[in-house]
Amino acid sequence: MSLLKQLFIAICLFLVVAFSGSFIAGVENSREQLLSQLRSHAQDAATSLGLSLTPHVDDPAMIELMVSSIFDSGYYATIRVVNIADNRVIVERRTTTAPENVPAWFINLVDLTPEGGDALIMRGWEQAARVEVLSHPQFALTKLWDSAIGSLIWLLGCGLVSAVLGGWLLRTQLRPLDNMVQQAQAITRREFLSMPKVPRTPELKRVVLAMNLMVEKLKNLFAEEAARSEKLREEAYQDSLTGLANRRFFDLKLTQQLEATEQNTDGYLLFLRVNDLAGLNQRLGGQKTDRLIQAIGGQLTHILQQRNARAWLASRSRGGEFTLLAPGLSSEDVDKLAQQLSEQLESLYQTGASDCIPVAHIGIAAYRPGESTATVIGRADQALAQAQSKNPEQPWERLDDFNLTTGQGIHEWRKWIDEALVGGKVQLYFQAVSQCDDISKLMHHKVLARLIDPQGEAIAAGQFIPWVERLGWAARFDLAMLEHSLKHLALHPTPLALSLSAATLREPESWAKLLDVLEQHPEQATFMTLELDERHLPPAAELEALGQQIRATGYHLGLQHFGGRFSLIGNLTHLGLAYLKVDGSYIRAIDQEGDKRLFIEAIFRATNSIDLPLIAERVETEAELNVLKELGIEGAMGRLIGAPTPWTGS
């Protein structure tokens, strides 16, 4: 029971005891006063009647007349005149009238008995008779009942007002306790909230100030760890001059894209090289050459922002050499991209960004998952060499050593993807996510998708997802996957994780539909975690609002592919995440590369300070898993743990 309820009940009990005692004391005092009045009334009547009957002591008729006159004029139970000599009753009047509008239980409770008085009737100096009078309590009982009812109503009214005012005062004074409870609960959700309003009560004020101090301390510790980790990431994976990724990070991403997994898709690799950079540096000087390098980096960054291609990667290898990794780029669009990039680089030359900017050449190479890194890089180098030997009017060359397309155009893809979504031809695959210290202990299953094509074959996500995004059906696909996953949970209640696309987060109508589906299935909330891709996150304020809406439905929220935008870690305290999945490019060969280990250690220190579990993606070898165990990483997923398969559980 809460402190507020205990105090409120205590106040109510105190009021009940106080008012009950006051009521009983008041009724008892009134009873004693009424008994005294009844005795006085009876005695006065007896004395008066005795004096009045003395002259008529020997006249029975007059005695009876006078007794009747007195009896009828007041509230008496009995009046009688008794002869003293032989105790014979000369005259007696009696009534059995009961008081009206007074309950019998009240009469029995107060026990207001008739009170009597007596007087002597003299015959000269001789005592002739005795007058006995008993006052009837009818009038007293009626007055006592009315008085008791009035007192009860007044006391109940006072008690009710006191209870309401006391409850309001308690709630007002103890509201900081509720705020502190919310503050503590927010800390368990890895949110650090300070109370801006400090209560006036000294005891509560000290507690609130101490809580705020603790929250600020935790927030500062987390910010320091985040800043330290971000600095390590920049030193290890970012080019200091352009702000693009460096060659090391490019190698990680290219290796990851070439893995034969169902998430990876075909794409293109662009090599860009500025002609005669050494001579340019001698002619223009280091500062102008650096400005040229920065301008080219800015153009590549602009292309990524313009196309909203967060899965792409622009990097600077060394000197005047740049790369652009574009997974999912079609053969129809790659020529347009090369032409756009050439024109932008030419505009730098024409507008005189430097005194003399040579034309850069671009080599384009197609790739597909399963190829080796050396093969793809060699193909891109060959394309770049051919571009340098060609006419400068087209300073780019593309090499396709295989057919990237499936022979289907956009209309064919549109038709069968639409048929698959409408007809429910979505097949769920599940990949296990287990604890690092014991891979037999399952944390949850990651839900993946296959679409059944017209020939009845299951198509991996890496083949159809680019077309789904190109058709603008990503949000529609998310909703279909969510509905299939909820149906699966209804039959097999086991923890699942489902990814959401950027389109669902970006489109208010799609987001509203998703929330509506979640609210219609509250029974599956404890088993479902919705994962957001770090590369597709909205701005911090919008992301926080989306996280609150998800948590309001009872479902959980996770973040996957984390690491490329490490500056986001400062906002994790406001999201209440269930876990954080580290991108597999930082896990590959972590047992052999010390810089990756340092980076993961930095992430672990930052997230461990807010009790946020880490899960490593794409764990492939026992050596990698052993390093993760040593670092304290909680979970792992990848081919070592288990490949995606249809549901085989019970």
- For the domain that residue 621 is a member of, what is the CATH number? 3.20.20.450
Q: Which of 164-168, 174-178, 218-222, 637-641 has the highest mean pLDDT?
A: 637-641
Kindly indicate the confidence band of residue 529, based on its pLDDT and cuts at 50, 70 and 90. very high
User: Pick the residue with more confidence: 404 or 453?
Assistant: 453
Domain count, the chain: 3
Asked if residue 244 lies in contact with residue 315, where contact means CB atoms within 8 angstroms, the answer is yes
Regarding whether 442 and 344 lie in a shared domain, the answer is no
Regarding whether 627 and 569 lie in a shared domain, the answer is yes
Region 254-282 average pLDDT: 80
Whether pTM > 0.85 for this model: the answer is no
User: Pick the residue with more confidence: 515 or 169?
Assistant: 515
629: in domain:
yes
Kindly indicate the confidence band of residue 98, based on its pLDDT and cuts at 50, 70 and 90. low
The range of the structural domain enclosing residue 28 comes to: 3-160
Residue 359 pLDDT > 60 = no
Query: Alpha-carbon distance 572 to 226, whole Å?
Result: 10
Lowest model confidence (mean pLDDT) among 118-132, 513-527, 611-625:
118-132
Residue 72 pLDDT > 80 = no
Residue 475 pLDDT > 80 = yes
Regarding whether 562 and 456 lie in a shared domain, the answer is yes
Region 350-370 average pLDDT: 66
Regarding whether 463 and 336 lie in a shared domain, the answer is no
Q: Which of 153-167, 366-380, 613-627 has the highest mean pLDDT?
A: 613-627
- Residue 128's pLDDT is 80
Residue 425 pLDDT > 90 = no
641: in domain:
no
Distance separating the N- and C-terminal Cα atoms of the chain: 41
Regarding whether 557 and 626 lie in a shared domain, the answer is yes
Query: Hey, how many other C-beta atoms are within 10 angstroms of the C-beta on 164?
Result: 10
Region 486-493 average pLDDT: 92
- For 117-135, what is each residue's pLDDT tens digit? 888 878 778 788 888 888 7
Residue 315 pLDDT > 70 = yes
Tell me the torsion sign for CA atoms 166, 169, 172, 175: negative
- Residue 404's pLDDT is 47
- Residue 543's pLDDT is 85
Q: Give me 130's structure tokens.
A: 């005795």
Q: What phi and psi values does residue 158 have, to the nearest 5 degrees?
A: -65, -40
Regarding whether 492 and 429 lie in a shared domain, the answer is yes
Domain boundary (384, 399, 414) is at: 399
Place of tokens 């580290």: 582
Please give the mean pLDDT across all residues of the chain.
81
- Residue 356's pLDDT is 43
Query: Alpha-carbon distance 117 to 79, whole Å?
Result: 10
- For 582-597, what is each residue's pLDDT tens digit? 988 888 888 888 878 8
Kindly indicate the confidence band of residue 430, based on its pLDDT and cuts at 50, 70 and 90. very high
Name the residue type at position 128. A
Instruction: Check residue 314 and report its DSSP letter.
Output: E
549: in domain:
yes
Could you give the C-alpha distances from 85 to 32, 46, 60, 126, 536, in angstroms and in order? 36, 19, 16, 11, 120
Region 335-348 average pLDDT: 81
User: Pick the residue with more confidence: 148 or 364?
Assistant: 364
- Residue 260's pLDDT is 66
In 586-628 the beta strands, taken as DSSP E runs, fall at: 614-616
Lowest model confidence (mean pLDDT) among 218-222, 260-264, 372-376:
260-264
Regarding whether 587 and 447 lie in a shared domain, the answer is yes
- For 185-200, what is each residue's pLDDT tens digit? 776 666 667 777 777 7
- Residue 516's pLDDT is 94
- Residue 223's pLDDT is 72
Regarding whether 460 and 390 lie in a shared domain, the answer is no
Residue 81 pLDDT > 80 = yes
Check which CATH number belongs to the domain holding 96 and give it: 3.30.110.200
- Residue 624's pLDDT is 93
Regarding whether 560 and 458 lie in a shared domain, the answer is yes
Question: Helices in 189-201 by DSSP H: which ranges?
Answer: none
650: in domain:
no
Regarding whether 428 and 392 lie in a shared domain, the answer is no
191: in domain:
no
Nearest to 507 by CA among 538, 470, 540: 538
Regarding whether 337 and 428 lie in a shared domain, the answer is no
Region 26-45 average pLDDT: 77
Could you give the C-alpha distances from 19 to 10, 16, 74, 155, 165, in angstroms and in order? 14, 5, 36, 6, 16
- Residue 353's pLDDT is 42
Kindly indicate the confidence band of residue 600, based on its pLDDT and cuts at 50, 70 and 90. confident
Asked if residue 447 lies in contact with residue 646, where contact means CB atoms within 8 angstroms, the answer is no
Task: Please tell me whether residue 491 adopts helix, strand or coil conformation.
Answer: helix
198: in domain:
no
The interaxial angle of helices 202-237 and 247-257, nearest 10 deg, is 90
Domain boundary (355, 383, 399) is at: 399
The string of DSSP letters for 205-237 reads HHHHHHHHHHHHHHHHHHHHHHHHHHHHHHHHH
Residues 6+ apart with CB under 8 A from 229: 566, 569, 599, 602, 603, 605, 606
186: in domain:
no
- Residue 636's pLDDT is 95
Check which CATH number belongs to the domain holding 350 and give it: 3.30.70.270
- Residue 524's pLDDT is 92
Query: Alpha-carbon distance 560 to 533, whole Å?
Result: 5
Asked if residue 63 lies in contact with residue 128, where contact means CB atoms within 8 angstroms, the answer is no
* Sheet of strand 89-94: strand arrangement: 89-94, 76-83, 126-135, 115-123
416: in domain:
no
Regarding whether 491 and 385 lie in a shared domain, the answer is no
User: Pick the residue with more confidence: 142 or 561?
Assistant: 561
